[in-house]
């Protein structure tokens, strides 16, 4: 089975080494942590799945997440050939897509496929906040919908990492209808008695929060992830009320019943395998077949 992860495309995936080398810094490259403000060697971050010793979770690219989660060589990408067009003829959208595709090495803001977690087969998706802020256009919605449909046919659980700025405004209403479309697919999967787990990562907002991100049977969040519908500033301006400390952060979510647990990234592989096992999913050796 072919491994579809690409080689590191940019400075984000493997800790910024390329950028620092480009600056002519031959010593150990570092990344400044926005939480503890310390400069952390990238080798330390790399060994800790891009988590700072203070606990801050740096954002991850979609393929990095899947690589950290899945058994080695077990990922099979599905629907990677689907590419956004510019259905409304929105000015500048074609150019923007072209630019972001080149910059990220991705065709769209979500990577979908199948793989194994400690031997247990699952359909998986990971959104990429570096691709137009993980915004949901027609293709993001279509890939996620098809993945759920595939999972129903193959009796697979779905595990998804969400990260999104919301609907993709360049696709207008076509973008908004993806909320209903993906939700219908989640319901179909649920009616088939299959498990769906979401991991809300920083940031998960807008139409993605209002649809498949919050529809998991089990909803996990990464520490301190920002999760909400409208932004805090918009809410404050509209309601003319000051928002409480930590509003829309993972702890706040847990306290108010919007997620089931906060799970450190370094515990996710083990934790997700356990949740799958509790729900009766077992490790298997059958070949994972490519979907249509």
Q: Which is nearer to Zn ion, 3 or 54 (CB)?
A: 54
Q: Of 1, 36, 232, 243, which one interacts with Zn ion (CB under 5 A)? A: 36
Stretch in the footprint of Zn ion (CB under 5 A) among 46-54, 137-145, 160-168, 178-186: 46-54
Alpha helices in 206-292 (DSSP H): 206-209, 232-239, 250-255, 268-278
Rounded-to-integer distance, Cα 61 and Cα 65, Å: 6
Q: Is 243 in the site for Zn ion (CB under 5 A)?
A: no
Q: Of 12, 33, 208, 288, which one interacts with Zn ion (CB under 5 A)? A: 33
Q: Is 200 in the site for Zn ion (CB under 5 A)?
A: no
Ramachandran class of 79: left when φ > 0, alpha when ψ lies in -120 to 50, beta otherwise: left
Cβ contact 220:261 at 8 Å: yes
Stretch in the footprint of Zn ion (CB under 5 A) among 23-31, 47-55, 189-197, 237-245: 47-55
Q: Is 70 helix (H, G, I), strand (E, B) or coil?
A: coil
Q: Phi and psi of 39, rounded to 5°?
A: -95, 115
Number of residues that bind Zn ion (CB under 5 A): 6
Torsion, CA 201, CA 58, CA 68, CA 165, rounded to 10: 30
Q: Of 42, 45, 52, 275, which one interacts with Zn ion (CB under 5 A)? A: 52
Rounded-to-integer distance, Cα 214 and Cα 162, Å: 10
Q: Which is nearer to Zn ion, 44 or 230 (CB)?
A: 44
Task: Cis check for the bond before 203: say yes or no (omega within 30 of 0).
Answer: yes
Q: Indicate the DSSP class of residue 32.
A: E
For residue 60, the number of C-alpha atoms closer than 13 Å in the C-beta half-sphere is 28
Rounded to a whole number of angstroms, the minimum distance from the CB of residue 19 to Zn ion is: 19
Q: Is 54 in the site for Zn ion (CB under 5 A)?
A: yes
Please state whether beta strands 110-117 and 196-204 pair in parallel, antiparallel, or not at all (unpaired): unpaired
Q: Is 30 in the site for Zn ion (CB under 5 A)?
A: no
Q: Which is nearer to Zn ion, 3 or 36 (CB)?
A: 36
Q: Is 264 in the site for Zn ion (CB under 5 A)?
A: no
Rounded to a whole number of angstroms, the minimum distance from the CB of residue 63 to Zn ion is: 24
Rounded to a whole number of angstroms, the minimum distance from the CB of residue 44 to Zn ion is: 10
Q: Which is nearer to Zn ion, 54 or 184 (CB)?
A: 54
Which residues make up the interface to Zn ion (CB under 5 A)?
A: 33, 35-36, 52, 54, 56
């Amino acid at each position: 089975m072919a491994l579809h992860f690409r080689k590191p495309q940019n400075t984000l995936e493997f800790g910024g080494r390329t950028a620092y080398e480009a600056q002519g810094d031959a010593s150990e490259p570092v990344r400044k942590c926005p939480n503890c403000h310390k400069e952390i060697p990238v080798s330390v971050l790399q060994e800790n799945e891009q988590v700072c010793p203070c606990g801050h979770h740096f954002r991850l690219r979609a393929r990095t997440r899947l690589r950290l989660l899945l058994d080695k060589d077990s990922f099979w990408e599905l629907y990677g050939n689907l590419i956004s067009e510019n259905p409304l003829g929105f000015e500048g959208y074609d150019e923007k897509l072209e630019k972001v595709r080149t910059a990220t090495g991705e065709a769209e803001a979500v990577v979908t496929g199948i793989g194994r977690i400690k031997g247990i087969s699952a359909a998986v998706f990971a959104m990429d906040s570096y691709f137009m802020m993980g915004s949901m256009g027609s293709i993001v919605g279509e890939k996620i919908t098809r993945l759920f449909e595939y999972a129903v046919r193959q009796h697979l659980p779905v595990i998804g990492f969400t990260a999104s700025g919301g609907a993709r405004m360049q696709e207008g209403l076509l973008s908004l209808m993806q909320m209903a479309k993906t939700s219908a697919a989640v319901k179909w999967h649920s009616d088939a008695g299959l498990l769906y787990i979401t991991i809300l990562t920083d940031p998960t907002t807008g139409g993605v929060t209002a649809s498949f991100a919050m529809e998991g049977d089990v909803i996990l969040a990464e520490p301190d992830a920002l999760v909400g519908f409208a932004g805090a500033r918009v809410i404050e301006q509209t309601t003319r009320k000051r928002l409480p400390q930590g509003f829309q952060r993972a702890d706040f979510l847990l306290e108010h019943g919007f997620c089931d647990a906060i799970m450190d990234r370094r515990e996710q592989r083990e934790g997700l395998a356990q949740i799958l096992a509790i729900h009766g999913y077992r490790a298997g050796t059958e070949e994972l077949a490519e979907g249509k």
